[in-house]
Chain A
Amino acid sequence: MSEQRFNELRGEQVIYAIHRQDRTFLPTREHCPLDPTRPGGPETEIPVPAFEIAVFENRFPAFASPHGAAEVVVYTDDHDGSFATLAPARAEALMWVWRHRYIELGARADIEYIFIFENRGVEVGVTLHHPHGQIYGYPFLPPVPALELAADARLGGCAPCALLAAEIADASRLLYEDEAVIAFVPYAARWGYEVHVAMREHRPSLADCSAAELRSLATALQSIVRGFDALFERPFPYVMAVHQAPTAASAGGPAGSAGHLHVEFYPPLRTAEKLKYLAGSEQGAGTFIGDMIPEESAAALREAIARGG
């Protein structure tokens, strides 16, 4: 059971999930808990010999009912794949799975915000290499989505809509676009190769997207991560964060009225070998010091996306 404490100085919640100290840590390939359970093999988290996409309650949850949720989303039974290498139809199916979990978990009274994310690479703390993501159902509105709602209030409307319009007008940081989705390095990116993938139309959440929009989103996300892998010709670590509307009326107004579905990538690499660390200024003062200009990152990523295919 986790414990939640409020840090008065920061004005934020802190979660203590001390049982997670014992979670499975970089097991050998033969003992991957996210593989299917094969006849004669060790029992895994998924007790069937083959599967497409599996979702289960985390064995080591940061949040659990009746104070939130923590789920694991396994993209494939192929241990050696990645989100980038999924077949397009599987990536599209994953969007439907995300949508389903957003709606089902979001209907729970103990959850105010659904956060879908993927940590890729040991550089961002991955403990299992099998392709997977996670879903946290927070029993409160976390600071980052709260800041996005505050940006809405500051700009007098949907902030992502306004910022997307500015990116389209500028065009120098655009990476990818189709009729439903646009990807870009944001004007004030914090990470060297930070990328945002936003819905063109105001869609508060996955629940508001059409089937065609979900397909476009999957295609865009795969284009970006394939471009990441092509950039330095190595598996590219990142955090992928799906930002959507809060699911509780108490978390920023009537559910569905605020928020704009977009996916943010935070890659820690600033060169093929060097990591960006969050050090003094970032941690102690809360101000990112960038090592590269977003327009130059965007130019490099455009070339990499073209190579990544």
Chain B
Amino acid sequence: MAGKRAEPRDATPLQTGAPAPLQERRDDTEERRRDGAERIGPLQLERLRKADGRALILYRATASPDE
């Protein structure tokens, strides 16, 4: 059976100037408003704790990033 696979020359070289590890990275869309509201991109977050201690996050769309 004939087989075909991508040739190495087609490959994009691995990036050598690697981004920082996530531990050192910050989400540049993250914003904490003066009123304590947390936003990620177009979403607003509400962090809650369930009765048994488990984390719960509610995400809702914001009408505008500047609202």
Contacts and interface: CB of A to CB of B under 8 A. Distances in A.
* A and B: bona fide binding partners: yes
Interface of A: 45-48, 51-57, 59, 89-90, 92-93, 96-97, 99-100, 103, 106-107, 109, 152, 155-159, 161-163, 165-166, 187, 202, 204, 207-208, 211, 214, 247-249, 253-258
Given A162-B10, A208-B19, A247-B22, A46 B56 contact: yes
B21 to A, nearest CB: 4
B6 A254 contact: no
Which 9 pairs across A and B sit closest by C-beta, in order of nearness?
Answer: A157-B11, A257-B18, A256-B19, A161-B12, A162-B6, A162-B11, A57-B54, A254-B18, A156-B8
B60 interface: yes
Interface in B6-44: 6-8, 10-16, 18-23, 25, 27, 40-43
Nearest to A208: B19
A249 B24 CA distance: 11
B19 A255 contact: yes
Contacts of B58: 46, 48, 51-54
B14 A107 contact: no
Interface residues of B, number: 37
B57 A55 contact: yes
Interface of B: 4-8, 10-16, 18-23, 25, 27, 40-43, 45, 48, 50-52, 54-61
13 contacts: A54-B57, A57-B54, A59-B52, A100-B40, A106-B22, A152-B11, A155-B6, A249-B21, A255-B23, A256-B25, A257-B15, A257-B16, A257-B18
Contacts of A163: 6
A155 B8 CA distance: 4
B60 to A, nearest CB: 5
Given A90-B61, A255-B22, A258-B14, 5 more contacts: A53-B59, A96-B41, A96-B59, A109-B23, A207-B25
